């Protein structure tokens, strides 16, 4: 099992560009999450999904969009990138709700200049 995989590992964007961060899990988990980690801070939830076709906002959803067409994939879309979106992005998955253990991907380091 690869667990949770994320691509790309690093990316530099110019202000106003868009991109999609990819996340795939092979553990047949129902729940998937996107977090961002700013320097010196904990992780903040952007969006999450409780199953294919169902997504919901977390604490910091502005500037992002998600979709969940399959159990395995949960891409995060950044539209009109801004410097405030410079961060490390983590995808995670769990079998059941947030009370279940979440397993994290390796992260994507994004810089917006």
Partner 1 sequence: AQKVTQAQTEISVVEKEDVTLDCVYETRDTTYYLFWYKQPPSGELVFLIRRNSFDEQNEISGRYSWNFQKSTSSFNFTITASQVVDSAVYFCALSENNTDKLIFGTGTRLQVFP
- Stretch touching partner 1 by CB under 8 A, among 15-23, 60-68, 70-78, 86-94: 86-94
Extract the tokens encoding 50.
């409780």
d(CA 106, CA 25) in angstroms, rounded, equals 12
Position among 12, 83, 97, 113 found at the interface with partner 1 (CB under 8 A): 97
Q: Does residue 33 interact with partner 1 by CB under 8 A?
A: yes
Q: Does 20 bind partner 1 (CB under 8 A)?
A: no
What's the CA gap between 11 and 32, in Å, rounded?
Answer: 22
Residue pair 35/89 in contact by the 8 Å Cβ criterion: yes
Give yes or no for a contact between 93 and 79, defined as CB atoms under 8 angstroms apart.
no
Residue 34 makes contact with partner 1 by CB under 8 A: no
Residue from 23, 24, 46, 48 touching partner 1 (CB under 8 A): that is: 48
Q: Which residue has the tokens 């939830």?
A: 45
Looking from the CA of 104 toward its CB, the CA atoms found within 13 Å total 12
**Does 2 participate in binding partner 1 (rule CB under 8 A)?**
no
The window from 13-21, 44-52, 61-69, 76-84 that contacts partner 1 (CB under 8 A) reads: 44-52
Output the furthest CA–CA distance in the chain (Å, rounded): 38
**Chain contacts with partner 1 (rule: CB under 8 A):** 31, 33, 40-45, 48, 50, 56, 58-59, 88, 90, 92, 97-99, 101-107, 109
């Amino acid at each position: 099992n690869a667990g949770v995989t994320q691509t790309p590992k690093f990316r530099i964007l110019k202000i106003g560009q868009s991109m999609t961060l990819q996340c795939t899990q092979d553990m047949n988990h129902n729940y998937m999450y996107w977090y961002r980690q700013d320097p010196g801070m904990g992780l903040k939830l952007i969006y999450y999904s409780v199953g294919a076709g169902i997504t919901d906002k977390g604490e910091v959803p502005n500037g992002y969009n998600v979709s969940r067409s399959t159990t395995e994939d949960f891409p995060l879309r950044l539209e009109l990138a801004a410097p405030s979106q410079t961060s490390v992005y983590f995808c995670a998955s769990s079998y059941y709700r947030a009370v279940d253990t979440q397993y994290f991907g390796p992260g994507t380091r994004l810089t917006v200049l």
